[in-house]
Chain A
Amino acid sequence: MLYRETGQFKTTYESDQRIFRIVQDRWIILAILAAALVVVPFVATPYLYTEILIPFLILSLAAVGLNILVGYCGQVSLGTGAFMAVGAYAAYNLWLRVPEINNLIVVFLFGGLMAAAVGIVFGLPSLRIKGFYLAVATLAAQFFLDWVFARVGWFTNYTASGSVAVGDLSVFGMPIATPEERYFLILGMVIFLTIVALNLVRGQIGRTWMAIRDMDIAAEIIGIRPLLVKLSAFAVSSFMIGVAGAMWGFLRLGSWEPLAFDINRSFQILFMVIIGGLGSILGSFLGAAFIVLTPILLNQIPGWLGIPMSTALISHIEFMVFGAMIVFFLIVEPHGLARMWAVFKEKLRLWPFPY
C-alpha cells in the first residue's frame, strides 16, 4: 500500500524517463536531502560531522566510482586505493604549486581528471584480460602507485617524512575550515557527482557498459567498441574515485601519507560495493554506510550500555561481530543491501494485504 504505483500515470516521455519514476521514491529522496541539508546543521555535533558523515559521504563517492567499473561494466579492480591516492596527490600538487587557484572545487576536479588519466592507462590491460586476471593487473597499479608516492619526492614536495599537510582552504573565497563547512562542500560534490553517475548509467553510455558486462562478445557483435566502452568506464570510475581521494586527503585527514591509500583501502571500497550491491548506485551508499559505521558503532555499544569491558576485548568483539555480519548479509542476500531494499519495497507495496 505504501509503495503502490497504481494510478501514477506517465503521460509524457519526460515523466517516463525521470530518474525516480515513482512518487514515493521522490518523496524519500527529498526527505533524505532535506535531512542532509537542513536538519543535520541543527543537530550535528563536530564528532558526527568529522567521524561519521564526512567519511561516509567520501567513501560513498568512491564506492559509486568503483561500482561503475565493477558493477556496471564488469571489470574487477583492486586499484581503488591507488586511484584515490592519485587524486589526492594531484590535488595537493596543484594546490601547492599554483596557489593562485586556491579553489577546492577546481583542485578536486583536477585530482579527478588526473586519476581518470591514470585509470585509463591502467585500464588498458582490460582489453586483453578479464575477471580475476584483470584484478591482478589492477593490483599492479596499487603497488606501483604506492611506490611512486612513497619514493618520488616531487609528489610530496620533498618532505622528509613523506607526509603532506594542507591548510587554509577555500572555495570561491569562502574559507573551508569548520566541520560544517567541510561537510557542505563534500555533500555538494557527492550530490552532483551522484546525479552525474545516475544519468550516465541509465543512458546510452551506461547501457554499453552493461552490455559489455553481460557478454562482451555479444556486445562487440552488435557494434559496441570494447576499447571505448571499457576505457570510458575506467575513466569515469577513476574520476570519481580520484575526487573522493582528494576530498579524503584534504577534508577528512588534512595530513596524510601514502599508507592512507594502501591496499586495505582498495579492499574496503570493493567490499562496500559487494555488500551494498553490484550495479546499484543506492547500493554504494548502503555499503559505505555499513562498512564505515558498523565498526564504530560496535566499538561504542559496550560504553553506552555501561558494560565494563577492556579496550582489547571491545576491539576483538568488534572484529568478530563485524565479520559475522558480513557473512550473514552475504548469505541472506548475495545481491547486496540494495537488493534487500528492493525486496523490502516490494513487500511494502502489498502491505498490509499480502496474498
Chain B
Amino acid sequence: MKLGHWMMGGAAAALLGLSMATPATAEGEQYLAGLVYRTGAYAPNGIPFANGMADYYALLNARDGGINGVKIQYEECDTGYATDRGVECYERLKNNGPTGTAYVNPLSTGITFALTEKAPVDKIPVISMGYGRSESRDGSVFQWNFPLLGTYWSAADLIVQHLGQKNGGLDKLKGKKIVLVYHDSPYGKEPIPLLQKRAEMHGFEFTPMPVTHPGVEQKATWLQIRRNRPDYVLLWGWGVMNSTSIKEAAGVGYPREQMFGVWWSGAEPDVEPAGDGAKGYNAITLQHGAGRYAVHDDVKKNLYDAGKGSTNWDDVGEVLYNRGLVNAMVGTEAIRTAMAKFGNKPMTGEQTRWGLENLDITEARLKELGFEGMLRPIKISCSDHEGARSGRIQTWDGKAWSFTSDWYTADDAVLQPMVKAAAAAYAKEKNITPVACN
C-alpha cells in the first residue's frame, strides 16, 4: 500500500514537472544553449570542447560584461553524443531566455542532420564548425546551416593536396594506394565522395574501410592494411576509435608518418593513450591547432586566476579546448554583427542568422579578439556559409602537436560543383526553392 502510494505520487509529480519544464530566465540577457557531451564513449573529446566554449562565454561576461554589454546566459545540456538525446536537449532549451537560443552547436554529425530539418521551422541557425553536411555550405539551399571554417570535403581535399605536395605534384599520386579508415556513421562517410572524385582525377587507388561504432574492435581492418600495405591511411575516427587505430597501426608496424587524421582525430586525447606509438602521426587542422595565444592570457587573467575556469589551467590550449573557444568566438561575433544592425539587445535566431551571413572577421579584428596567429580571416556570404577553407598539417612528436606544413587552401574548382550538385539534390528531395544570392 505504502509503496503504491509512493509510486503514484512520484508519477504524478513527475508528470507535473515535465509539463511545466521552463526554468527561470533573466530578462535582457543573451541566451545561448550548448549541446555538449561530458559523458559517454566520446567524453574524452567532448569535455575539452565544452570547457573551451564555457570559458569563452565566461570570459566575455567577466571581461566585457557580455556582448556589447548584453550579458550571456549559457546553459549546457549533455547529449552523450546520442542523436535522440541531442534533439531532446535542443527542444528543451531552444525557447529559453528572452529570445530563445541565438544559435545551436550540435557537436555531432547525427544531431546536425536532425537539426537541419528543424532549423528553418524554428528559425535557429545551426553552426556546425568543421562538421555536418559538407554541401550545407551552399547558403542558397541551406539557409540556416553554417559549417564554418571548413567541411569534411575541404578537410579531405587539404589532405590530398598535402599528399600531392609530398610526392611532388598531384599527378604523382597515380597508382598510389590510399585507404580511408572511417567511423561507420554519417560523419565517417562524409569524405568518401570527395576522395572518390580525387581518385578519379589523379588515378590513385582509394579504398574505404569502415569501423563500427565505437571503434574499439579494429583488428580485421588493420590486418587488411598490413596485407595491402597502402601508401597512406586517412583516419576519420572519433573518440576511443582514434587511439585504437594508432595503437593497431603500431601493432602491425604501419608507419604512423603515413597516417593522416581529420581534425576530430588530431587532438591530445587521440594520441596520448597510444603512447610512443603515436609519434609521427599527422592530422589536418582546420585553421588552428594546439597552443596558447593572446586570448588565452585573458582567459587566465579573468577566469583561472580568479578560480572561475572550467578546467585546469594546464589543459587550456589543447586542440579541442581551442576548438571550443573558436566556436564560441565565431558565434558571439555573429551576434555582435547582428547587434550592429538590430541594436544592443538579445538577438533572436533570425537576427543571428543575418549576423552569421554577414560575418566578416578581418585580420585586425582577430588581433583585437586575441586570436591573431591562431586563425585566418573569415568572411561569410549568402552563397558561401563556410567562410574559410584553409588548413595546415600538424604532427605529434610524442609530447605535443606542431605544424609541419604550410597553409593549404581547398580547391574550390573541385568542391564547388560537388556542393552545387549535392545541394540541388537535397533541395529537390525536400522541395526547397533555393533563394537567390547576390
Contact = CB atoms under 8 A, between A and B. Distances in A.
Interface of A: 43-48, 50-52, 55, 150, 160-163, 165, 167-168, 252-257, 259-260, 262, 293-294, 296-297, 299-301, 303-304, 306, 310-312, 314-316, 319, 332, 340, 343-344, 347
A165 B117 contact: yes
Nearest to A146: B212
B141 to A, nearest CB: 13
Interface of B is mostly: helix
B116 interface: yes
Contacts of B18: 48, 52, 293, 296-297, 300
A206 to B, nearest CB: 28
29 contacts: A50-B87, A51-B88, A51-B92, A52-B18, A160-B189, A160-B193, A162-B189, A165-B117, A167-B429, A167-B430, A252-B84, A253-B87, A253-B114, A254-B114, A254-B117, A254-B118, A257-B83, A257-B110, A260-B84, A299-B78, A300-B18, A311-B38, A311-B50, A312-B47, A312-B78, A315-B39, A332-B3, A340-B7, A344-B8
A8 to B, nearest CB: 23
Contacts of A168: 430-431
Interface string B381-400: 00000000000000000000
Chain B interface size range: 35 or more
Contact of B84 (A55, A163, A294, A343): A55
B192 interface: yes
Contact of B21 (A256, A300, A340): A300
B181 to A, nearest CB: 16
B39 A162 contact: no
A65 B84 CA distance: 21
A132 B225 CA distance: 37
B17 A150 contact: no
Given A47-B21, A344-B8, 13 more contacts: A44-B19, A47-B95, A150-B210, A163-B186, A168-B431, A257-B110, A257-B185, A303-B23, A304-B17, A310-B38, A312-B38, A316-B39, A347-B4
A300 B161 CA distance: 48
Interface in B30-54: 36, 38-39, 43, 47, 50
Nearest to B210: A150
Contacts of A257: 83, 110, 113, 185-186
Interface string B97-137: 00000000000011001101110000000000000010000
Contact of B192 (A43, A160, A304, A344): A160
Nearest to B14: A297
Nearest to B109: A161
B83 A301 contact: no
B19 A161 contact: no
A165 B39 contact: no
Nearest to A53: B18
A47 B91 contact: yes
Contacts of A259: 83, 110, 185, 213
Given A304-B17, A312-B47, A343-B4, A150 B184 contact: yes
A347 B6 CA distance: 14
Nearest to B153: A160
Contacts of B215: none
B77 interface: yes
A297 B20 CA distance: 12
A32 to B, nearest CB: 12
A161 B134 CA distance: 10
A163 B399 CA distance: 38
Contacts of A296: 18, 88
Contacts of A167: 117, 429-431
B157 interface: no
B151 to A, nearest CB: 12
B239 interface: no
B84 A293 contact: no
A300 B18 CA distance: 9
Nearest to B1: A347
Given A296-B18, A297-B14, A332-B3, A255 B91 contact: no
A165 B7 contact: no
A11 B77 CA distance: 58
B193 A293 contact: no
Contact of A253 (B4, B24, B83, B213): B83
10 interchain residue pairs of minimum CB distance: A312-B38, A161-B186, A311-B76, A344-B4, A315-B39, A315-B78, A163-B186, A254-B117, A51-B88, A160-B193
A45 B1 CA distance: 34
Contacts of A316: 39
